[in-house]
Amino acid sequence: MKISEKVFVITGAGNGIGREISLQMLQKNARVAGVDISTKALLETQKLAGAEDDTFLPVKLDITDREKVSELPEKIIQHFGTVDGLINNAGIIQQFIPVNELSLEDADRVFRVNFYGSLYMTKAFLPVFLDRPEAHIINVSSMGGFLPVPGQTLYGASKAALKLFTEGLYAELKATGVRVTVVFPGAIDTNITANSGLEMPKSDTASEFNPMPADKAATIIISGIEKNKFRILVGSDASMLDKMYRVAPKFATDFITKKMKSLLIN
C-alpha cells in the first residue's frame, strides 16, 4: 500500500518506533491518528512533525480498554473521513526475571497490552477495512516473538501470540483487499524499558547487540508496508537469529541464552 494520502492509525505514537513511523508517514503525505496513553508524548510528536490536527490527530487511549477501543473507528472516520491502515505498535516488556519470580499480575499486564490491545484494535477496525478498496493491518511483534529470551519469557510469549494471530489473519484475509504484515524488530534504541515502568539491569549485553536507531527502523517498516510484505525483519540481529532459529532452534536458544544471561536479575 502506498502511504501518500492514506489515513493510518498508529498505536504507541508518543515515542520510539511509533513516533518515528508517524513522522515519516506525515512526510510522505499521509494523515495519522496517533494513539498513546500519554497526551504529553503525543503532543511532542505533533510538535516535532509541525502538524496540525487535520494531518495528525492525537488520541489518548488505553488500548486495553475494549469499550473505548470499539469507539475509536467512528472517531477517526468523523475526523478524517476515512481510515486505511492500522499499525499495532504499542508494547511493553516485563521485569528481567525468571517466570518463577514473575507475578501473575505482571504477566497479565504484558499480555493485555501486547496481545489483547492489538486484538481489540484489529477487531474494531477490521469491519471498516473490509469495506475499503484496500487496507492494511501491521502488527509489530518482536525478535523475541520467534526466539526465546531468558528473563523475557512472558513478553516473548505475548509477541509470539501476536505473530501467529497476524499470520492467521493474513491467511483468512487473502481473498480480500486487506493486506496483513507482521514486523519483527531486533534491538532498537527506544524507551520501552522506562515506558514499561522498569529499570534496565546493568549488563554487558548491549555491546553484543548494538541497537538500531528508531528512525532507521521506521524507514524499514514503512518500506515493507509499501511493498505489502508478509514479514518485515528489522535489524541484522533479527535477520540472523531468524535464520538460525529456523535451521537449528536448540542451538539458537542456547546461543541467545548465553548472550542474554547477564540481564537476569538474581
- As a whole number of angstroms, the distance between CA 94 and CA 105 comes to 11
| Residue 155: active-site member | yes
CA separation, residue 255 to residues 52, 134, 260, 261 (Å): 48, 42, 9, 10
Q: Catalytic pick from 120, 155, 170, 245?
A: 155
φ, ψ at 198 (rounded to 5°): -125, 165
User: What single string gives the DSSP state of each residue in 35-74?
Assistant: EES-HHHHHHHHHHHT--TTTEEEEE--TT-HHHHHHHHH
The cell numbers describing 20, all together, are: 518515528
Residue 2 burial (CB count, 10 A) = 12
- As a whole number of angstroms, the distance between CA 250 and CA 245 comes to 8
- 41 alpha-carbon distance from chain centroid: 17
Q: Walk across the sheet containing 85-88 and list its strands.
A: 56-60, 31-36, 7-11, 85-88, 135-140, 178-185, 231-234
For residue 211, give the 3-state DSSP assignment.
coil
Active site (catalytic) residues: 155
